[in-house]
Amino acid sequence: MSEKITPFSNVVIGIDLGTTNSLVAHVRDGKPEVLNSREGQRLIPSVVSFVDDKPVVGYAAKRKKVRDAEFTVFSVKRLLGRGFEDVAVGQDVLPYEIVRGGPEGDSKNISIRVGERTYTAIEISAIILRELKASAEQALGVPVRQAVITVPAYFNDSQRQATRTAGHIAGLEVLRIINEPTAAALAYGLDRKKEGLIAVYDMGGGTFDVSILKLHDGIFEVLATNGNTTLGGDDLDQAVLKVVAQEIKESHGLDPARDIQLNAALIEAAEKMKIELSQSETAVFEVKLACLNYSRKWTRSEFQKLILPIIEKTREPCLQALRDAGLKPEDLSDVVMVGGPTRLKIVQDVARMIFGREPNTSVHPDEVVAAGAAIQADILAGNNQDLLLLDVVPLSLGLETYGGLMSPLIARNTRIPTAAREVFTTFVDRQTGVDIHVLQGEREKVEDNRSLARFKLAGIEPLPAGLPRIEVMFLIDADGILQVAAKDLRTGHEQTIEVRPSYGLSDAEVEKMLVEGQKNAEADLAYRRWVEVRNEAEPMLRNAEKKLPDAFRLLPREEAQTIEAQVLALKQGIEQKDIAQVQDAKYRLGASTVRLAELLIKEAIESAQRASNKI
């Protein structure tokens, strides 16, 4: 009999959309719990198999991985939000065929061939998410429409956006995309400590990720990430397979490498034994097939000896991540273990040796990310009033302004979501368009910052310089996606663009940009001051040069010559980038042209009067 639970309107689920397995969780009575899948399991293998074009998800699909390989897709997360060129390298680890072209014929996109049809990675992920949603609905007995989904910390914005789109296709409103290591830290309640430096050691089925998080005022910031995209629990199974296959070859004369079915059965048995050895000192590797009856007892120490070199491969990425974060192992306050293989004692031992402290393993390592996602979901559902802000803008965001300067609208470390607005104007008379150049970084010169996007706002009324009012809005949503809107306040003409500030930007690069910013702060400031002075002086120079003939016409020759000399001094000052000379010439020129300006106004009034008398 299924337990009855009181339906409530605001169910938000937490989803760990994994490469190998996915989980869905929610918080009940303040505690996160993983929900059973429709197959009655906690894990849902992230595998989709098509039977007569109809998708099957989970263990049922995983079982078809060998028999119906042509119709079965797995590890699709490796392809999510990536272009053809990005994944061409990974093609060898994925047995299915990846073809160029997405649903809109975009040649940069990719699809996966399944029999006669092709599917995008987003579509496959949506099928998995739909299964997770259905599982949660069955477990909770209420419709579910909102979710928090986790992604690896290194996911760029295109990968995050693809995850969000997949959720949308699955009928879920994705309230937030959060980093997997952040979710793991949340599940351990580390946010309650307010401050800390946390290493998250995450070994999944096929990948290893390490993230260094900084917890400050309850906000998690990713300081560095590293890892190995082809290192995980599957490699441990393969190591066992290699030993066993050799024995079988010698004793039974069978070559598993030439028999897909046998090979698959051996891998399955290897995985089973590995899992057993995480709890027992000994385990039996056993396969009972028509062609082969094989069994062999393994001790934990024998298994550990075999896999230690593989686990040791996690050491360098961990040390590199620490180096990138500018930290030493002893600076860490916590080490959190994520992923099925971290249940193995040898993996915990290696992590302890790398970080020099006892790793946190009390929350199920394969459920910890889903649990954290559920905690975040609970907060967003309004059930937990301890509002937690999880992310900040890692680098300032701004616009290019006249003279090649970066004008920041949102300062780094601002908590997201956030918005900023500023009104700009034109620098040239009768200017009908402005280039909106969105920048990221801490430097004063445009070229020292990262160019995120450019677009043109056309349709500005042709007015004298300085009169148009162009409002620029920066809006960053909870996932860090930036929307820039530029609007001519007179004509109402508007142009919007969506930018992904962290696209292709690693944490190490962010760090580098910050260091560069600090190193060059003084020179940058001097440069800004110069450009500002020049921006003021140049229009004055242009104007004075235009009026020189009038000076000689209306003023005594000597006075006109003085103006001419000051124009020359100003020009020279600008050419030589001499701030003092420019300021001085500007001041003198301003004073000596007062009379000329008065005379010109008088002349203009008189000529206007003459014209009206004629009428």
Catalytic amino acids? 16, 77, 180, 202
What is the pattern of x (binds ligand AMP, CB under 6 A) and - over residues 439-478?
A: ----------------------------------------
Cβ(113)–Cβ(124) under 8 Å? no
Q: Does residue number 341 form part of the binding site for ligand AMP (CB under 6 A)?
A: yes
Give the residue with the Cβ less far from ligand AMP, 142 or 275.
Answer: 275
Residue that is written with structure tokens 């290493």 in the block: 199
Q: What is the CA 387 to chain-centroid distance, rounded?
A: 22
- Where does this chain touch ligand AMP (CB under 6 A) — which range of 17-25, 68-76, 311-319, 522-530? 17-25
Give the residue with the Cβ less far from ligand AMP, 21 or 150.
Answer: 21
Q: Does residue number 344 form part of the binding site for ligand AMP (CB under 6 A)?
A: yes
Residue 472: strand pairing partners: 422, 486
Give the residue with the Cβ less far from ligand AMP, 234 or 400.
Answer: 234
> Least distance from C-beta 43 to ligand AMP, angstroms?
6
Cβ(338)–Cβ(181) under 8 Å? yes
- Report the candidate in 157, 118, 160 with the shortest Cα–Cα distance to residue 110: 118
Across the beta sheet with 334-338, what order do the strands follow?
A: 219-228, 208-216, 196-203, 334-338
Give the residue with the Cβ less far from ligand AMP, 93 or 521.
Answer: 93
Give the residue with the Cβ less far from ligand AMP, 264 or 473.
Answer: 264
339: left (phi over 0), alpha (psi -120 to 50) or beta: left
3-state helix, strand, coil in the chain (%, to 5): 45, 25, 30
Q: Which residue in the set 14, 21, 151, 181 belongs to the binding site for ligand AMP (CB under 6 A)?
A: 21
Give the residue with the Cβ less far from ligand AMP, 14 or 341.
Answer: 341
- Where does this chain touch ligand AMP (CB under 6 A) — which range of 18-26, 34-42, 152-160, 303-311? 18-26
Q: What is the CA 341 to chain-centroid distance, rounded?
A: 26
Residues 274-313 that bind ligand AMP (CB under 6 A): 274-275, 278
Q: What is the CA 175 to chain-centroid distance, rounded?
A: 16
400: left (phi over 0), alpha (psi -120 to 50) or beta: beta
> Least distance from C-beta 231 to ligand AMP, angstroms?
11
Q: Which residue in the set 157, 334, 366, 444 belongs to the binding site for ligand AMP (CB under 6 A)?
A: 366
Residue that is written with structure tokens 């065929």 in the block: 97
> Least distance from C-beta 369 to ligand AMP, angstroms?
8
Q: Which residue in the set 204, 227, 256, 317 belongs to the binding site for ligand AMP (CB under 6 A)?
A: 204
Q: Does residue number 339 form part of the binding site for ligand AMP (CB under 6 A)?
A: yes
Give the residue with the Cβ less far from ligand AMP, 109 or 135.
Answer: 135
Residues 73-92 that bind ligand AMP (CB under 6 A): none
Q: Which residue in the set 12, 20, 442, 570 belongs to the binding site for ligand AMP (CB under 6 A)?
A: 20
The b-or-e profile of 505-523 (16+ CB within 10 A means b, else e) is: bebbebbebeebbeebeee
- Where does this chain touch ligand AMP (CB under 6 A) — which range of 99-107, 340-348, 391-399, 574-582? 340-348
- Report the candidate in 599, 570, 600, 593 with the shortest Cα–Cα distance to residue 582: 570
Residues 205-234 that bind ligand AMP (CB under 6 A): 205, 232-234
Q: How far apart are CA 535 and CA 539, in angstroms?
A: 7
Residue 210: strand pairing partners: 201, 226
List residues near ligand AMP by CB under 6 A: 18, 20-21, 204-205, 232-234, 271, 274-275, 278, 339-341, 343-344, 366
